[in-house]
Every structure is written in C-alpha cells, then in structure tokens.
Amino acid sequence: MLIFINEELNQFHLTNKTVSYIFHVMKNGELGQLYYGKRLENQADFSHFGAYHIPTAASCHVEKDDPAFSLETVCQEYPVYGTTDFREPAISLRHPSGSSVSKFEYAGYEVLDGKERIPGLPSTFANAGEASTLVITLIDNLRDIKLKLYYTIFENSSSITRHASLENDGEHPIDIERLMSLSLDLNDHDFMMVHLAGAWSRERHVKERKLQTGIQSISSIRGASSHQHNPFLALKRPHTTENNGEAYSFHFVYSGNFLAQAEVDHYNTARIQIGIHPFQFNWRLNPGEAFHAPEVVMTYSDLGLNGLTQSLHTLYREHLIAPVWQKRQRPVVINNWEATYFDFNAEKILVIARQAKELGVELFVLDDGWFGKRNDDTTSLGDWFTDPDKLPGGIEALSRAIQNEGMQFGLWFEPEMISEESDLYEKHPDWVIYDPERPPSYGRNQWVLDYTREEVVDYLYERISSFIRSAKLNYIKWDMNRNITEAYSASLGQDRQGEFFHRYILGVYDLYERLTSKYPEVLFESCAGGGGRFDAGMLYYAPQAWASDDTDAVERLKIQYGSSFVYPIYSIGSHVSDIPNHQTLRSTSLKARGDAAYFGTFGYELDPNKMTDEEKAEVKAQIVTYKLHRTLIRHGDFYRLISPFESNEAAWMVVSKNRAEALIGWYKILATPNPKKIQTLKLAGLDSVSTYQVNGSDQAFGGDELMQRGLALPVEYNGVNQHQAERGGDFQSYVFYLTKNGG
Ligand code: DGJ
C-alpha cells in the first residue's frame, strides 16, 4: 500500500520504503502540508504536525474568532494569493470581474493504480502495480473552477511526481496568470540551494548558495530550458555530502520557459515552487476547457546527493525514457561535424565512415550541411531536401552505402529553424516568429519557426518522415541553435499572445510525439547548440542529449559531473574530439579524452583518417573497452566521488546493482610539484564484506578497505622518482575496473 487516507480527518499519507509525504485538509477547506522527508510509519492522525500557534497581531486571519489561524503561518500545499498569505502563490487566475482572488476548497479524492499520461506533455509513466496516483480535487465554488492536484508515488523510488490541472466548468472564460506545477512549504530554511548553471560550452556547472530570507530563483524566458539554468533545484543540509545527509530536489519535466524558486519568509519557512514561468504567460481558459501544467519530480534522500541522483537515474531509466530504448545498447557514434564542418561530399564522408567502421564505430552521423545550399550557416534551414552538389545520389545513396558497410546511419536536422535565405522563407514568410511591427532579431543568421501553427509542424513531420523512410534512418540529431526573440504569433490573435511560449513548446512536443510514436526504432538525440535544452521533457522523447559543444576533456569533467546530478549517464552525449580542442584550443591526450567520454554515450567527433596508426590502435582499444562496460554504464548506480568544482581532481564511478563490478574514472587536471607520497581514492557503493580485484590483478582488496582507506592511485612523478613514477604531467586520468571475488 502506497497511499494511506484517513477519510475522517481528510489526511493523506504517500509512503513507500524510503519517503513519506503527508498533507491534510485544513479547517478552511484548503490543503495544508504536514510532512515531507524520510519514511514515517503510518499513524491514524498526523494533524498535530499542522498545529498553528503563532498568534500575531500583525497577521491577517481567516476567521473572526480564531486569530491564530492565518495562512501566512501554516505550511500549505497549493497556496493562493489574495487572502491571508502574502507569499508568492501557486496559482493566480484573472476572473471576468477583473478580480484575481480565488479560493480552492477540498472536494474529494481518487486513487489510481499506476499513472496516467498528461495530455500533450511528456511525463513519467508507470503501469498498474508499479505506482499509485492520488488525485485531489479542489473547487472554487464561486466560479465553478476545478483544480486537480496529482501525486504519484512509485514502489521503488524516492521520487514522487506532481502536477496540476485546471478545468473551467463555469460559464465565463478565465485567464490563468500563474499555475505552478509544485508548491511546497518546508518548515525551515537551513539549506544550501544547489543548481546547475552555465552558458554555451560550459553547461550545467554546479552552483551552491545558502538559502536566505527573500526569494532566490533560477529561470528561463528564452523559449527553451536553456544553457544558462537547468530546470533543476536541490536543497541540501549544510553538512550534507555526496554520500551522507539529507537533500531534496525538484526537477521540471519541461523544455520551455520555467521558474524555480525558494522563498524564505519572516518565520524562516521555505516555500519551493517550480512551474511554467509566469512572466509572459497568460492562458485563456474557455468554459469546458482544461489546462495541464507540466510535471515535477520531487525527490528526497537521506543518503546525500548521490542518493538523489540514483533515485532520479533509476526513475528516468525505468519510467521516463521510452521503453524501447530503456534496455538497448547505445551505439558508438562518429559524427562528422568537427571533422568537416560544412565542407564535405559523399566520397569524403564514406572515407571517414569506412575508417571509423574499421575501428569499431557502429553509427555514422551526418551533421549540418547536407541540405539546400548550405555551405555555411547563412542559408537553407527549412529546405530539408538533399544538396545534390554534395550528395548526388541523395541521402538515400549515402545511407545505403554506409549501412552496406555494416554501420547504422543518422542524420542532423534543425527542425525549428528557418534561414532568411531559403526557399521555405520565400514561400512562407509568415511562418517566422516575429513582431509584425518590428524587424526580427538574428541569432546564428537564422529565425525560429512558429510552432504554434499546426501547418508548420505538419510540414516538418512530412519532411523528416520522408527521410526516415527513404534513407532508413537509424538515428536523428535534433538541433536547436538559437532562442526565441520577438515572441509573437499572428495566428494567435491579439488577446492570446500570452499563450505563445507554451504553445510553441507544445508544438515541439507534438512533432516529437508524432515522429517517435510512428518510428519508435529511430534513436533521437536532442541538442540545442550543445546542451541548451537538456531536460527531462526532451529525455522522454530523445533518450540521449548532446551535452555540450565543448568536448575538451578538462571542461567535460565539469559538464558531465553537473549533468550527472540529474540525468542517467547513458543519456549524456559525450565524444572524443580532435586536439587542439576546437572550443578551448587545449591539447589533452587521447587517453584523457577517452577516459572522460566513457561515462556517457560514447563516440568520436573527428576524422579518423588523420590519425597515426598508433592513435588508431588506441581508439580501437577504447571502443573495445567501452563496449565491454556499456551495460554497466547503462544500468549501474552512479556515484560522484570528487568534484572538479572543488579540487584539481575529479572522480566518479558506476557500480552494478548487485555490487559485482564497478568502473571508476579518476582525473587530475594539473600536475602537482612534489606531490603527496601516498594517494588514494575513496570509493563508494561496494560490498563491504567482499573483496575486489582491480583491473584483473591477482591482488584482492576488501570492499570496506576500498571505501574507507581508498584505492591506491599509481605513483606520481615527483621530480626525482622517474624510475618508479607511473604518472605525471597535466591532464592525468585512469579508469579502473573492479570485479568482486565470488561475485
Ligand atoms: C550545434 C551542435 O551542438 C553541433 O554539434 C553541430 O551539430 C552544429 N550545431 C551544427 O550546426
């Protein structure tokens, strides 16, 4: 049993082996939050958790004869503004009278076995028996508006999902100005806020700050979840580490504008909210219509940040990534972008593909430049027809030739964009997003297509599907290289422009949904100028994401470390590229680049024909290593060990669920003169009463020893020990493989 309900007290307790989430109906009919944290045994009555006893002369109170009952001083579940709470609300509606005061009172509940999908939106899913969903209905009787709050608790996860929907059963349209997917009042604010921020080529860097009185937030108003802020916010206790202590996280399953914030009030209550950004949002809900806010995954861990991560990874692997891709190996990729940029033809591509095949690569991806007259980034987006000058036999002949070599074939699209210099723009200038009263801004010489228009989505569906069919595509890289400016659609009318951003992303989801349901065997990789839209919404359709255009081994440590907080590592697109690196001009060894890229979906972004025989042999060996371990990388529990944000080293590991094997990546960025004599790396997640062999050596080490004392690192060069030193210099890296004895 996952949901306990005390009907007399109107109290709801969602619980499984690890967490408890409890709320109830308060005396005024609204919902009060009682507890969220480590699992509690169910009790008949938890209402004392919601005791309110802060009589304050300065507060407004709900009832004349109960001056202590103020919404300002109780923890709530889905607060409104306009009565006695002055913090930011979860919901704000504009009624026909102009008033924005609403009151949603409890009207009933329903429990569903499993989980229903949210219409038009990506979300986690679960079959009957795997999860239970509690649906609470609240009604604003004055206006006949129904608010439904959905909570799903899974049998085997410390994550609970939430979302909200609104139904207008009244006779007048209402305007939704704010509808957060989650609001949660935590009793104290003794937390560090952890989030993932960055920019192009340095995405998802880990940031931490202490929660302070007032509002602290992260957000995007760019039309995409963004390079700048991932829609993820975590709270950890000040002493919580990667492996110990309490932490909560909130992750939005959405790819458009979002707001995630923590508001600490004058009683040090922390109100967490996450949802569609209310800025530029206004949705007209006509009588008989419903609006669904996207889903949020909230997770609790008392096993540190790695506990949060493992819970999210497992949930996404089993309940978000499309079933057909959950257990499939990810092919080793070669992508021609950095090898050729726009300068290629069929012969050149075939030479790269053949050489890559010989080295063990399984999938060739033809990147930007194969269509229209696209010899640079100024033209042809939208003209999704093969450029006959580069590929006289069409994509079809190239794909056939590559598939005949025994490789899979994938193709790059940027379906949401249009070039000013394109046939599509000549034919459909009205398909561009722009404000008719002003000239449109440029970004990478391109404009964004208006995905609020069905005919635009239909056109792209037809173009992309025709290539999937004719060229038998195995893979598609879906890129998106600029954000939305002059957000306006003539098709929406003057009073509905506030719906633009959400309708845009619904259009993107619609295209993804149509393509992935019709062609489930095609592997999609999402991309947005690198990792500018790496989020759970995308992950639902595209089981892997190009993490960053920055493939420099050192920069990758930070990008992959940050991404790993939330995203299963087998969804993190990570490739070995050429040196000097095209983004940083840094040169690192092939070994360091491979050792970093193993912990993701592995591949290459270079021309293998330019390699020496020695390098080719090394690549061949890397691919063999990756193939040997990719099942472990896909299914294992991931542990971050040393943060590149806090030290000159980085380390992480992945351990199989049965603790029988583990793969460890250790990296040192700059050499240390006269380093410590004995250097060890403390591991995690091993079986403490078993012994392990490292890299197949005869010596066995206790799991407890490896976790408490650590794995001895190879001897480092110290200026005088050249006969003994096994490593030295900048950009050192090692990958260790552990096997359990008798395991
Ligand atoms: C940005 C992507 O992140 C790159 O990998 C590449 O596909 C280029 N776009 C192509 O224009």
Question: Three-state SS across 693-740?
Answer: EECCCCCEEEHHHHHHCCEECCCECCCCCCCCCCECCCCEEEEEEEEE
Residue 675 confidence (pLDDT) above 80: yes
Residue 489 confidence (pLDDT) above 80: yes
Residue 589 confidence (pLDDT) above 80: yes
Q: Whose CA is nearest to atom 10 of ligand 1?
A: 368
pLDDT of residue 742: 85
Residue 347 confidence (pLDDT) above 90: yes
Residue 191 Cβ < 6 Å to ligand 1:
no
Look at residue 377 and give its three-state secondary structure.
Answer: coil
Query: Cα(212)–Cα(24) distance, rounded to whole angstroms?
Result: 28
Tell me the mean pLDDT in the region 520-528. Answer: 98
- Residue 525 binned pLDDT confidence (cut-offs 50, 70, 90): very high
> What are phi and psi for residue 166, nearest 5 degrees?
-125, 135
Q: Are 739 and 661 in contact (CB under 8 A)?
A: yes
3-state secondary structure 165-201: EEEECCCCCEEEEEEEEEEEEECCCCCEEEEEEEECC
Tell me the mean pLDDT in the region 232-248. Answer: 98
- Strand intervals (E) in 552-609: 572-577, 601-605
Ligand 1 atom nearest to CA at 605: 5
Query: Cα(736)–Cα(743) distance, rounded to whole angstroms?
Result: 17
What contacts 172, CB < 8 A, 6 or more positions away?
95, 96, 143, 287
Please report, to the nearest 10 degrees, the dihedral formed by the alpha carbons of residues 452, 454, 455, 456 taken in order. 40
Query: Cα(663)–Cα(641) distance, rounded to whole angstroms?
Result: 12
- Residue 141 binned pLDDT confidence (cut-offs 50, 70, 90): confident
Q: Whose CA is nearest to atom 1 of ligand 1?
A: 529
- Residue 55 binned pLDDT confidence (cut-offs 50, 70, 90): low
| Paired strand residues for 693 | 700, 739
Residue 337 Cβ < 6 Å to ligand 1:
yes
Residue 56 confidence (pLDDT) above 90: no
pLDDT of residue 743: 63
Q: 530 CA distance to ligand 1 centroid (A)? A: 7
Residue 529 Cβ < 6 Å to ligand 1:
yes
Residue 421 confidence (pLDDT) above 70: yes
Q: 529 CA distance to ligand 1 centroid (A)? A: 6
pLDDT of residue 135: 98
Q: What is the mean pLDDT of the chain?
A: 97
- Residue 739 binned pLDDT confidence (cut-offs 50, 70, 90): very high
Residue 115 confidence (pLDDT) above 90: yes
pLDDT digits (tens, 9 = 90+) for 269-312: 999 999 999 999 999 999 999 999 999 999 999 999 999 999 99
Name the helix (H) or strand (E) containing 404. Answer: helix 394-404
pLDDT of residue 64: 85
Q: H helices then E strands: how many in the chain?
A: 13, 38
Retrieve residue 358's tokens.
Answer: 């010989």
Q: 460 CA distance to ligand 1 centroid (A)? A: 19
The 8-class DSSP code of residue 330 comes to P
Residue 530 Cβ < 6 Å to ligand 1:
yes
Q: Which residue has the tokens 């036999």?
A: 393
Query: Cα(547)–Cα(313) distance, rounded to whole angstroms?
Result: 16
* Residue 38 identity: K
pLDDT digits (tens, 9 = 90+) for 612-664: 999 999 999 999 999 999 999 999 999 999 999 999 999 999 999 999 999 99
Query: Cα(416)–Cα(478) distance, rounded to whole angstroms?
Result: 9
Tell me the mean pLDDT in the region 241-256. Answer: 98
Residue 203 confidence (pLDDT) above 90: yes
Classify burial at 194, counting beta carbons within 10 Å of its beta carbon; exposed 0-12, middle 13-18, buried 19 or more. buried
Query: Cα(32)–Cα(20) distance, rounded to whole angstroms?
Result: 15
Residue 367 Cβ < 6 Å to ligand 1:
yes
Query: Cα(693)–Cα(702) distance, rounded to whole angstroms?
Result: 9
Query: Cα(328)–Cα(212) distance, rounded to whole angstroms?
Result: 45
Q: 480 CA distance to ligand 1 centroid (A)? A: 8
Residue 368 Cβ < 6 Å to ligand 1:
yes
pLDDT of residue 655: 98
pLDDT of residue 405: 96
Retrieve residue 403's tokens.
Answer: 């598939």
Residue 479 Cβ < 6 Å to ligand 1:
yes
pLDDT digits (tens, 9 = 90+) for 8-28: 999 999 999 999 999 999 999
Query: Comparing C-alpha atoms, which of 81, 78, 79 is closest to residue 99?
Result: 81
Q: 291 CA distance to ligand 1 centroid (A)? A: 35
Q: 541 CA distance to ligand 1 centroid (A)? A: 19
Residue 532 Cβ < 6 Å to ligand 1:
no
* Residue 474 identity: N
Query: Cα(187)–Cα(209) distance, rounded to whole angstroms?
Result: 19
Retrieve residue 326's tokens.
Answer: 């959950």
* Residue 633 identity: I
Residue 481 Cβ < 6 Å to ligand 1:
yes
Ligand 1 atom nearest to CA at 548: 3
Query: Comparing C-alpha atoms, which of 321, 317, 186, 155 is closest to residue 249?
Result: 186
Residues designated catalytic: 479, 549
Query: Cα(30)–Cα(585) distance, rounded to whole angstroms?
Result: 58
Ligand 1 atom nearest to CA at 546: 3
Residue 633 Cβ < 6 Å to ligand 1:
no
Residue 527 Cβ < 6 Å to ligand 1:
yes
**Cβ count near 67 (within 10 Å):** 14
Q: 235 CA distance to ligand 1 centroid (A)? A: 34
Substitution candidate for ligand 1 out of 200, 341, 480, 549 with most atoms within 8 A of CB: 549
Q: Whose CA is nearest to atom 9 of ligand 1?
A: 529
Q: 586 CA distance to ligand 1 centroid (A)? A: 20
pLDDT of residue 54: 64
User: Could you write out the DSSP letters of every residue in 457-504?
Assistant: HHHHHHHHHHHHHHTT-SEEEE-------S---GGG-GGGGGGHHHHH
Residue 734 Cβ < 6 Å to ligand 1:
no
Q: Are 648 and 730 in contact (CB under 8 A)?
A: no
pLDDT of residue 25: 98
Residue 308 Cβ < 6 Å to ligand 1:
no
User: Could you write out the DSSP letters of every residue in 75-129?
Assistant: -BSS-BSSSS--S--SEEEE-TTS------EEEEEEEEESBPPPTTS----B-BT
Q: 368 CA distance to ligand 1 centroid (A)? A: 7
Residue 547 Cβ < 6 Å to ligand 1:
no
Name the helix (H) or strand (E) containing 305. Answer: helix 304-319
Query: Cα(249)–Cα(231) distance, rounded to whole angstroms?
Result: 11
Query: Cα(506)–Cα(485) distance, rounded to whole angstroms?
Result: 18
Residue 197 confidence (pLDDT) above 90: yes
* Residue 442 identity: Y
Residue 539 confidence (pLDDT) above 80: yes
Ligand 1 atom nearest to CA at 335: 5
Ligand 1 atom nearest to CA at 528: 3
> What are phi and psi for residue 138, nearest 5 degrees?
-125, 145
pLDDT of residue 59: 80
Residue 546 Cβ < 6 Å to ligand 1:
yes
- Residue 62 binned pLDDT confidence (cut-offs 50, 70, 90): confident
Sign of dihedral through CA atoms 441, 444, 446, 452? negative
Q: 716 CA distance to ligand 1 centroid (A)? A: 38
Query: Cα(273)–Cα(411) distance, rounded to whole angstroms?
Result: 39
- Residue 66 binned pLDDT confidence (cut-offs 50, 70, 90): confident
pLDDT digits (tens, 9 = 90+) for 383-417: 999 999 999 999 999 999 999 999 999 999 999 99
- Residue 51 binned pLDDT confidence (cut-offs 50, 70, 90): confident
Residue 412 Cβ < 6 Å to ligand 1:
yes
Tell me the mean pLDDT in the region 702-720. Answer: 97
Name the helix (H) or strand (E) containing 625. Answer: helix 613-635
Ligand 1 atom nearest to CA at 527: 3
Start-to-end CA distance of the chain, whole Å, equals: 34
Substitution candidate for ligand 1 out of 366, 375, 377, 481 with most atoms within 8 A of CB: 481
Q: Are 91 and 179 in contact (CB under 8 A)?
A: yes
Name the helix (H) or strand (E) containing 68. Answer: none
Look at residue 340 and give its three-state secondary structure.
Answer: helix
Q: 447 CA distance to ligand 1 centroid (A)? A: 16
Does the pTM of the predicted model rise above 0.95? yes
Q: Whose CA is nearest to atom 2 of ligand 1?
A: 529
- The proportion of the chain whose per-residue pLDDT surpasses 90, expressed as a percent, equals 95
Ligand 1 atom nearest to CA at 377: 11
